[in-house]
Amino acid sequence: MPVTGYYLVQGDKTTCGGRITTGAEDHTLFDKPVAREQDSVTCGKYVGLYRIAGGIDNDTIHGRRMAGTLDSYSTCPCKARFIPSMMQDTYEKSSGSGIATNAAEEKAEATVSPAVTAGPEPCVSAEADKPDEQLSGWLAYYGTDMQPLKNLAFRSFVDSDVPKVIIAGDGHRKPPFIYSQHMPGVLSAFSKGKLRLYVEYTQSGWSLRNKTPGALPPYLTQKKSFFKKDIVTPWENEVMGESSTAIYEKLIEKIGGLTPLTAAEAKKLKLQGQQFADGLNAITPDLAVTVRKHINNLVAAAGPLPEQDVMALVSIISGQWRDLFVNEDLAERLAEEITKAPDLTRLISIGDAHLDDNNNPFHILLAEKLSKRMKSPPVILVNKRSEF
């Protein structure tokens, strides 16, 4: 008597609480990528990415068998089965041909194509990891799902050539990207011209910094052709960065005695305030209105500067605009770039304050935007540490 099976798609869950994280983007069922053998899957009990073993004979996509509930299981330590979400499309097998036996599982693993099994096996339990300060603190985002990564699971990602996004809170470290010299996948991407770096500088600031020794780790400067390649992007907004810094420094200078502005200082502050507010208006119009109000109050003050306006602007520049504008703006720009060129590995250096989970964190915004744009967004690795 035939047994009914169901096709699997990206997002389907495992019986241990994991989830299928990749699929064939050009083959979909109700707009969801169809899962195949060797597509990746998470585990509900162990950290790391695992693979789908086994597939439906005679149903292939790009040489890989489609995954189905009767034929496929996860390579995680649980050897979990899959829970289908698409009940409309089914297939049938004779009652004795499922994957319930160990022999069938062994056959499924034995018949996987060598072309898709190349690379390190990421299966590893949390208990197998040993403490290592160099590799601690990493998180992996599969779309908007997050898992902490310990040493061996982390190595399985960074050793591979799969395009990835790596974010670290080392934006104020000189040089940034120190951690990347221990990542074979990053070194490989660099050698193939598939690496892009994003630094927390304005364009003019990076032009100056790049002329000094130690701007980047040595491995990134070994090839003579490196600086001819457009792989370093300073991500800070030039105009807003300069105007906000100038306003902040003037306010800190005045904050002790709240001494009145000279005519020249008032003129300059008004121009800088206008530039800063104009930039804010594109994403945070309410904050732009607030900045203009405080700037106008300071410029109009006949005597000592109003303390409430000074302190409000200091608070906005030191925190609010970073959380509400910078993180949103940078996440939007990078999501657009990654969507257009998903085959690149990207290293993003950013101050650790931008990664604060309580203040509109950049990495969460980026994960959300990529999930909306892409059916199979790249894995995002995040470490909030500023020192490595």
CA of 62: how far to CAs of 53, 65, 117, 274, 330, in Å?
A: 16, 8, 15, 55, 35
The stretches of 91-150 forming alpha helices (DSSP H) are 102-110, 114-117
The mean per-residue pLDDT over the stretch 40-44 comes to 84
The listed range with the strongest mean pLDDT (169-173, 192-196, 271-275, 381-385) is: 271-275
Q: In this predicted structure, which of 9-23, 85-99, 129-143 has the lowest mean pLDDT?
A: 129-143
Arithmetic mean of pLDDT over the chain: 83
The CB density around residue 268, as the number of other CB atoms within 10 Å, is 16
Q: Which two tokens stand for residue 280?
A: 């804010």
Q: Can you give the pLDDT at residue 256?
A: 81
Give the residue with greater pLDDT, 93 vs 12: 12
**Residue type at 348 in one-letter notation:** I
The mean per-residue pLDDT over the stretch 200-216 comes to 89
Q: Start-end ranges of CATH 2.60.200.60 in the chain?
A: 2-117
197's torsion region: left (phi>0), alpha (psi -120 to 50) or beta? beta
Give the residue with greater pLDDT, 246 vs 211: 246
The half-sphere exposure of 150 on its side-chain side, counting CA atoms within 13 A, is 12
CATH for 2-117, among 1.20.1250.20, 2.60.200.60, 3.40.630.10, 3.40.220.10?
Answer: 2.60.200.60
Of residues 284, 287, 307, 285, the one with CA closest to residue 297: 307
Q: Can you give the pLDDT at residue 96?
A: 53
Find residue 51's DSSP bridge partners. Answer: 40
How far is the C-alpha of 71 from the C-alpha of 143, rounded, in Å? 26
Q: Can you give the pLDDT at residue 134?
A: 54
Q: Can you give the pLDDT at residue 148?
A: 79
**Burial of 16 from C-beta contacts in 10 A (0-12 / 13-18 / 19+):** middle
Assign 3-state DSSP to the chain and report helix, strand, coil percentages, each to 5.
40, 20, 40
The mean per-residue pLDDT over the stretch 123-144 comes to 60
pLDDT-derived band of residue 52, with 50, 70 and 90 as boundaries? very high
**Burial of 185 from C-beta contacts in 10 A (0-12 / 13-18 / 19+):** buried
Please say if the pLDDT value at position 14 is more than 80: yes
Q: Can you give the pLDDT at residue 153?
A: 66
What dihedral angle (degrees, nearest 10) is formed by the CA atoms of 50, 55, 61, 62? 70
Q: Can you give the pLDDT at residue 95?
A: 59
Tell me how far apart the 2 most distant CA atoms of the chain are, in Å. 93
pLDDT-derived band of residue 152, with 50, 70 and 90 as boundaries? low
How far is the C-alpha of 260 from the C-alpha of 301, rounded, in Å? 7
Provide CB contacts within 8 A for 340, sequence distance 6+: none
Residue 295 Cα to chain centre, angstroms: 36
What confidence tens digit (pLDDT) does each residue in 299-311 have? 999 899 999 999 9
Q: Which two tokens stand for residue 32?
A: 């969801």
What confidence tens digit (pLDDT) does each residue in 181-193 have? 888 888 888 888 8
How far is the C-alpha of 363 from the C-alpha of 43, rounded, in Å? 22
DSSP E strands, the chain: 2-6, 13-14, 24-29, 32-34, 40-42, 49-53, 60-61, 64-65, 73-74, 82-83, 90-94, 138-142, 145-149, 165-168, 195-199, 232-234, 345-349, 380-383
Of residues 307, 304, 281, 284, the one with CA closest to residue 294: 307
The CB density around residue 104, as the number of other CB atoms within 10 Å, is 16
Provide CB contacts within 8 A for 84, sequence distance 6+: 6, 7, 8, 12, 69
Q: In this predicted structure, which of 100-114, 139-153, 230-244, 272-286 has the lowest mean pLDDT?
A: 100-114
What confidence tens digit (pLDDT) does each residue in 221-272 have? 765 444 445 789 999 999 999 999 999 999 999 888 899 999 999 999 999 9
pTM as predicted: 0.66
